[in-house]
Chain A
């Protein structure tokens, strides 16, 4: 199949279409929608897929309407948005660090958000909203610190990864300390938060995520072309007219914002940011940063993972982070082995 096609208009404008990537995006959106309908229908009060769709379109009875639109829809929307943010943020980090393992999980952003959240939980016994704010602040400060510490006449990929590894070790120690000084109730609450969970999310969490995505997604996608040039190396990209450090700073800030907000909403759900871009890349078979496919893949992954955790362990028994952690860990090992066999790392 010929994957690239140029579309020309009579006025002399032309745009290059990557047909395969477009098909992948459409299929992923379909999958995400399907999984969302299934997820809304799953729970203590099961609803059939047809009823879910009818209720979503405004035609259900009052009981179903309450369950679907007030209780379950916000949770699914949070899952979709968090997954999308993590997928996009992960793709940006991996493209900027030029390393398939340069994801926010490994760079310590998750640990930073955790440190913020744990501080609020353990030292102040804060409410859920305060925990969210603490996580947001922790994630943003960590992202900024890593960027500044890795800066040395520009940010180099491996230096970013290694500084991130050091940062995450310090923060892990801080989190370990907070866990040892807390009482067992706060410690249990902390561990659930640290795993990443979607239970009890409502419209309050949806709106900030949606607003952030509405601003950042177009901004990031608008810079995708420059990011693609930068994959050829900073010098070549510079020669082609890309302002390398400016684009990189802009994209890093966007990636940190996306990841930190997503983490604040659902906790540090592991591995979505790491695996979504890799899976998207394997589906589109395109070498570029694959931003839009990664975004859709992240959303799909998180909803499917939440649905599987509900089906496997029962409603709200296991946080979604456990499923993504175990599946992602196995995937990561497989990735390491196959990359090694191919001699790429």
Chain B
């Protein structure tokens, strides 16, 4: 019963000055506003300079001119950025709650390496050449490695270090395989060197349609897990006493995280650190309640991803720097800062 009537609901019945809940709801709205602005920037800014009038024309009076086509491209790119960003943020938040480990991230858990290994196999041995063909392989590879890391690293009580090390070990082994294939196959090297850095530039309507069902399913599942994960944060025994199903929650969380990361990685290639950073930043102002962390992460992660993508389009004009590179270069120092600040480093 305690779980079913959280403090916020009781607080609501008391007419009080702006409650925390009101402030947080307002903050969520404001974040959504920022997201809208970044999304618009992502449509307006790019390698090709377009005036605002041209962008407006492309958005609302599409008549197939050159600039309209450019705007159409940017719209699908922005849509993919929104979806993938939200997916990575949610997956990161769920993984961090599940492992009670602030350092959990799909990249550190080897899911990216699994997807990469599956894609290079598809290119080199099965002759798959289209972007839409990679998606299923990437998805399968991510799922397989997610399961393996979970099994090796902590199916019986995951500790932060154990999971991170299991992920790193499996990534290392898979990257060895990746290199062997790339050395012996020039065509695979030519394609893989662009795929492995993670980019939104290949987004098309059909890519989005392929991953959309998985992303929606994963997001709904992740949001629904907020309550049981909240209970589990109090420790296994307390959670059990509160009526949470430990194993079911763990399995569903891992499933949600793998589906979300797998689908996002399949569509844009491996993008690291979005899932790590955003839930951290969010936690610093929402506190530990996942019912706030999850929606905030879902809104703010695309802000980071689209922002990094816009930066990547500007810094090396007329060429582009892939979004995965920009996120790692921003995210790496943040990760090191967290390690230095937090007690996790002493586990």
**Residue ranges of A at the interface with B (Cβ–Cβ < 8 Å):** 101, 105-106, 149, 152, 156, 158-159, 162-163, 165-167, 169-170, 172-174, 176-177, 179-181, 184, 187-188, 191-192, 194-195, 270-271, 318-319, 321-322, 325-326, 328-330, 332-333, 335-337, 340, 345
Q: Would you give the 0/1 interface string for B192-211, flagging 1 where the beta carbon is closer than 8 Å to chain A?
A: 01101100000000000000
Query: Shortest Cβ distance from A116 into chain B, in angstroms?
Result: 17
Q: Would you give the 0/1 interface string for B320-334, flagging 1 where the beta carbon is closer than 8 Å to chain A?
A: 011011001101110
- List B residues 194-244 near A (Cβ within 8 Å): 194, 196-197
CA distance A173 to B336 in the complex (A): 15
Query: Shortest Cβ distance from A105 into chain B, in angstroms?
Result: 7
CA distance A235 to B194 in the complex (A): 50
Contact at B329–A174, with CB atoms within 8 Å? yes
B177 within 8 Å of A by Cβ?
yes
Contact at B166–A336, with CB atoms within 8 Å? yes
Instruction: Given the known inter-chain contacts A158-B347, A169-B273, A176-B324, please indicate yes or no for A188 contacting B189, CB distance below 8 A.
Output: yes
Contact at B176–A322, with CB atoms within 8 Å? yes
Query: Shortest Cβ distance from B96 into chain A, in angstroms?
Result: 15
Pick the most buried of B165, B196, B329: most chain A CB atoms within 10 A of its CB.
Answer: B165
Contact at A322–B179, with CB atoms within 8 Å? yes
Set of chain A residues within 8 Å of B190, measured between Cβ atoms: 184, 187
Stretch at the interface among B12-20, B24-32, B167-175, B288-296: B167-175
- Contact pick for B340, options A152, A165, A170, A194, CB 8 Å: A152
B272 within 8 Å of A by Cβ?
yes
- Contact pick for A326, options B176, B182, B193, B336, CB 8 Å: B176
Set of chain A residues within 8 Å of B173, measured between Cβ atoms: 325-326, 328-330, 332-333
Of all chain A residues, which has the CB nearest B327? A173
Set of chain B residues within 8 Å of A184, measured between Cβ atoms: 186, 189-190
CA distance A329 to B179 in the complex (A): 13
Contact at B197–A173, with CB atoms within 8 Å? yes
Set of chain A residues within 8 Å of B197, measured between Cβ atoms: 173, 176-177, 179-180
B108 within 8 Å of A by Cβ?
yes
Of all chain B residues, which has the CB nearest A146? B336
Of all chain B residues, which has the CB nearest A171? B332
Pick the most buried of B107, B168, B321, B324: most chain A CB atoms within 10 A of its CB.
Answer: B168
Set of chain A residues within 8 Å of B165, measured between Cβ atoms: 101, 336, 345
Set of chain A residues within 8 Å of B162, measured between Cβ atoms: 340, 345
B339 within 8 Å of A by Cβ?
yes
Of all chain B residues, which has the CB nearest A197? B183
CA distance A326 to B179 in the complex (A): 10
- List B residues 103-159 near A (Cβ within 8 Å): 103, 107-108, 152-153
- Contact pick for A166, options B166, B175, B335, B346, CB 8 Å: B335
B80 within 8 Å of A by Cβ?
no
* Further 20 A-B residue pairs, CB within 8 A, beyond A159-B339, A177-B322, A188-B189: A101-B168, A101-B169, A106-B168, A162-B345, A165-B108, A165-B164, A169-B107, A169-B272, A169-B331, A169-B332, A176-B196, A176-B324, A176-B325, A184-B190, A191-B189, A271-B172, A271-B176, A326-B173, A329-B176, A345-B165
- Contact pick for A172, options B169, B179, B328, B345, CB 8 Å: B328
B180 within 8 Å of A by Cβ?
yes
Q: List 11 A-B contacts (CB under 8 A).
A: A101-B169, A163-B340, A176-B196, A180-B193, A187-B189, A194-B179, A329-B169, A330-B173, A332-B169, A333-B169, A336-B153
Query: Shortest Cβ distance from A152 into chain B, in angstroms?
Result: 6
B161 within 8 Å of A by Cβ?
yes
Instruction: Given the known inter-chain contacts A321-B179, A325-B179, A333-B173, please indicate yes or no for A159 contacting B345, CB distance below 8 A.
Output: yes
Instruction: Given the known inter-chain contacts A159-B345, A169-B332, please indicate yes or no for A180 contacting B176, CB distance below 8 A.
Output: no
Of all chain B residues, which has the CB nearest A195? B179
The size class of the interface chain B forms with chain A is: 35 or more
Of all chain A residues, which has the CB nearest B175? A325
- List B residues 264-297 near A (Cβ within 8 Å): 272-273
Set of chain B residues within 8 Å of A176, measured between Cβ atoms: 193, 196-197, 322, 324-325
Contact at A329–B345, with CB atoms within 8 Å? no
Query: Shortest Cβ distance from B271 into chain A, in angstroms?
Result: 10
Contact at A195–B183, with CB atoms within 8 Å? yes
Set of chain A residues within 8 Å of B347, measured between Cβ atoms: 158
Set of chain B residues within 8 Å of A337, measured between Cβ atoms: 152
CA distance A135 to B175 in the complex (A): 20
- Contact pick for B332, options A167, A187, A335, A340, CB 8 Å: A167
CA distance A162 to B346 in the complex (A): 10
CA distance A195 to B329 in the complex (A): 23
Set of chain A residues within 8 Å of B183, measured between Cβ atoms: 188, 191-192, 195, 318-319, 322
CA distance A179 to B108 in the complex (A): 22
CA distance A326 to B181 in the complex (A): 12
CA distance A321 to B176 in the complex (A): 8
Contact at B325–A332, with CB atoms within 8 Å? no
CA distance A335 to B170 in the complex (A): 12
Set of chain A residues within 8 Å of B332, measured between Cβ atoms: 166-167, 169-170, 173
Of all chain A residues, which has the CB nearest B340? A152
Contact at B336–A167, with CB atoms within 8 Å? yes
Pick the most buried of A169, A174, A329: most chain B CB atoms within 10 A of its CB.
Answer: A169
Contact at B164–A187, with CB atoms within 8 Å? no
Set of chain B residues within 8 Å of A318, measured between Cβ atoms: 180, 183-184
Contact at A333–B152, with CB atoms within 8 Å? yes
Contact at B321–A329, with CB atoms within 8 Å? no
- Contact pick for B169, options A156, A192, A321, A336, CB 8 Å: A336
Query: Shortest Cβ distance from B146 into chain A, in angstroms?
Result: 16
- Contact pick for A177, options B177, B179, B321, B340, CB 8 Å: B321
Set of chain A residues within 8 Å of B339, measured between Cβ atoms: 159, 162-163, 166
Set of chain A residues within 8 Å of B193, measured between Cβ atoms: 176, 179-180, 187
CA distance A156 to B345 in the complex (A): 8
Instruction: Given the known inter-chain contacts A156-B346, A170-B329, A170-B333, please indicate yes or no for A191 contacting B176, CB distance below 8 A.
Output: no
Set of chain A residues within 8 Å of B196, measured between Cβ atoms: 176
Q: Which 8 A-B pairs have the closest CB atoms?
A: A329-B173, A325-B176, A170-B332, A173-B328, A166-B335, A159-B345, A176-B197, A179-B193
